[in-house]
């Protein structure tokens, strides 16, 4: 079976039973992708001919309307016939080269009970260009790889800052908490992903930045990038966490708000104690946002974090008038086993 890309007319062979994206990447066709778990929608494509199936079930990022419109998510779709697809999203021009580089752990800091910042120093002679919001993969023995968003902005990325949440039993995150020490060598590959901040054309309404847990990492990169350039529109930063102690950037954000009247910060706690509830908004982060905005007709949203948060935003924001193409998401899918 073959995949033909429209309008380039490029054709690549499809490996039976494997996701279409995998075959394209194996053939060195760099299709857009991000989460590789069917949530973020970066690999959306229009199926012009042929049929696909989803052996792992309908992906979270694919709505009934998408299916009706012939949209497929290539990171999950498995071809049943030859395919002709048109990409929904064109690769950004001037995209940085993806490099595989050694790096040294410069330092590790505790941010919250289960989150650490890991600062990586790349070889001085290597230029590592990326855009605010992108991620890199840490390459592990045995061909394993784990994705981590870059929390640094492009203008201040030496060292590169990552935020790692501890996943009990996790192959890499447990190592960060138990064994990784300054001086350790790692291999990374990047930059990756199409969750990147783009300046709007012309006048723009409010910008909503939404982070769930360590989804704050790419949002921090975008926010610092924007602050460096000077805010040209109101920015509303919503951060979802379970408890107050998990709001690991609370003081830093407070400092930014004090210096920048156009920046508003709304922390939202999903498992607040009574004392925490007296000090903070409670509930799910998308619910707080919906409570605050009766209309999102002139807004633009960048959101990163757990797949259920991303799915909730996808399911609810369009009904508030958010224009198509104004919701940019990065879903932190677990790596496949």
Ligand X SMILES: Cc1cc2nc3c(=O)[nH]c(=O)nc-3n(C[C@H](O)[C@H](O)[C@H](O)COP(=O)(O)OP(=O)(O)OC[C@H]3O[C@@H](n4cnc5c(N)ncnc54)[C@H](O)[C@@H]3O)c2cc1C
Asked if 24 is part of the footprint of ligand X (rule: CB under 6 A), the reply reads no
Asked if 39 is part of the footprint of ligand X (rule: CB under 6 A), the reply reads no
Candidate list 88, 114, 131, 330; residue touching ligand X; CB under 6 A: 330
Least separation, in Å, of the C-beta of 147 and ligand X?
Answer: 4
Least separation, in Å, of the C-beta of 171 and ligand X?
Answer: 4
Asked if 172 is part of the footprint of ligand X (rule: CB under 6 A), the reply reads yes
Q: Is the dihedral of CA 182, 185, 186, 189 positive or negative?
A: positive
Residue partners of 54: CB distance under 8 A and separation at least 6: 38, 62, 76, 77, 78
Beta pairing partners, 160 = 120
CA distance 10 to 8: 5
Asked if 169 is part of the footprint of ligand X (rule: CB under 6 A), the reply reads yes
- The DSSP secondary structure of 222-235, one letter per residue, reads HHHHHHHH--SS-E
Least separation, in Å, of the C-beta of 233 and ligand X?
Answer: 26
Asked if 143 is part of the footprint of ligand X (rule: CB under 6 A), the reply reads no
Q: Specify the residue, 176 or 207, whose C-beta has the smaller distance to ligand X.
A: 176
Asked if 35 is part of the footprint of ligand X (rule: CB under 6 A), the reply reads yes
Q: Considering only 80-88, 101-109, 160-168, 248-256, which stretch makes contact with ligand X by CB under 6 A?
A: 160-168
Which stretch of DSSP H or E encloses residue 108? strand 99-112
Asked if 134 is part of the footprint of ligand X (rule: CB under 6 A), the reply reads no
Least separation, in Å, of the C-beta of 206 and ligand X?
Answer: 25
CA distance 241 to 163: 14
Whole-Å CA distances, 168 to 147, 171, 174, 216, 245: 17, 9, 7, 20, 19
Candidate list 76, 149, 152, 221; residue touching ligand X; CB under 6 A: 149
Report the residue count for the chain: 337
Rule CB under 6 A: which of 209-228 touch ligand X? 214, 217
In the complex, the residues that contact ligand X under the rule CB under 6 A are 34-35, 135, 146-149, 163-165, 167, 169-174, 193, 214, 217, 330, 332-335
């Amino acid at each position: 079976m073959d995949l033909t890309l429209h309008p380039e007319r490029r054709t690549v062979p499809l490996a039976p039973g494997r996701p279409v994206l995998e075959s394209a990447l194996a053939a060195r066709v760099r299709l857009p992708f991000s989460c590789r778990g069917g949530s973020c929608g970066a690999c959306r494509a229009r199926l012009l001919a042929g049929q696909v199936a989803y052996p792992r079930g309908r992906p979270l990022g694919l709505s009934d309307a998408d299916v009706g419109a012939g949209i497929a998510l290539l990171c999950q779709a498995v071809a049943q016939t030859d395919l002709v697809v048109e990409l929904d999203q064109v690769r950004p021009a001037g995209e940085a080269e993806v490099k595989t580089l050694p790096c040294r752990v410069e330092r590790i800091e505790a941010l919250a009970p289960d989150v650490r910042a890991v600062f990586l120093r790349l070889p001085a002679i290597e230029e590592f260009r990326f855009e605010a919001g992108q991620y890199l993969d840490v390459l592990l023995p045995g061909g394993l790889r784990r994705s981590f968003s870059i929390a640094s902005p492009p203008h201040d990325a030496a060292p590169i800052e990552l935020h790692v949440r501890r996943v009990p039993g996790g192959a890499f995150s447990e190592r960060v908490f138990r064994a990784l020490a300054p001086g350790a060598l790692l291999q990374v590959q990047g930059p990756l992903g199409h969750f990147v901040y783009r300046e709007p054309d012309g006048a723009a309404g409010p910008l909503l930045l939404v982070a769930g847990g360590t989804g704050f990492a790419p949002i921090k990169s975008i926010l610092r990038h924007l602050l460096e350039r000077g805010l040209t529109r109101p920015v509303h930063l919503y951060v979802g966490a379970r408890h107050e102690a998990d709001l690991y950037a609370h003081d830093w954000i407070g400092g930014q708000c004090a210096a920048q009247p156009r920046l508003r910060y709304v922390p939202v706690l999903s498992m607040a104690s009574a004392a925490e509830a007296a000090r903070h908004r409670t509930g799910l982060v998308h619910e707080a946002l919906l409570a605050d905005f009766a209309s999102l007709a002139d807004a633009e949203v960048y959101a990163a974090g757990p797949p259920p948060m991303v799915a909730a935003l996808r399911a609810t924001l369009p009904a508030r008038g958010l224009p198509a193409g104004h919701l940019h998401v990065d879903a932190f899918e677990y790596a496949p086993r």
